[in-house]
Amino acid sequence: MRDFERGLLLGILIGEGHFGGDGRQPHITVRMHSRHRALFEWLLQTIPGSRLYGPYQHGGRDYCQWMVRGAALRGLLPVLDQLPLEEVNPPTYERYRKMKRDYNLS
């Protein structure tokens, strides 16, 4: 992954990322308005194995949700571990660390 791609991914995760899981497996999700389709397509191309769900219409909102889990997430973790999340945005870093702790991802 090139520097630009890492930087853009960092910004997306800080602004829109959710780090969690369903109780059985960890995942990272990004939910945004459907008009951001080109950005979602970029995420799919940049993170092989990630998935896009939607568009959904709910409560007057029109959105899509990008998700990375399973083997795709395990492949992404080394990249995320190298990003300066802790320095740039400690709250995002703590959510990331909590996901890793909760799901025993070293």
> Residue 1 has what pLDDT?
86
> Residue 46 has what pLDDT?
97
Confidence bin at 106 (pLDDT 50/70/90): confident
What is the tens place of the pLDDT at every residue in 38-67? 999 999 999 999 999 999 998 889 999 999
Is the predicted pLDDT of residue 105 greater than 90, yes or no?
A: yes
Give the per-residue SS3 of the chain: CCHHHHHHHHHHHHHHEEEEECCCCEEEEEEEEHHHHHHHHHHHHHCCCCEEEEEEEECCEEEEEEEEEHHHHHHHHHHHHHCCHHHHCHHHHHHHHHHHHHCCCC
| Domain range enclosing 92 | 3-102
Percent of the chain scored above 70 by pLDDT?
100
> Residue 87 has what pLDDT?
96
CATH number assigned to the domain comprising residue 86: 3.10.28.10
Average pLDDT for residues 76-99, to the nearest whole number? 96
Q: How many domains does the chain have?
A: 1
Distance CA 49, CA 64 (A): 17
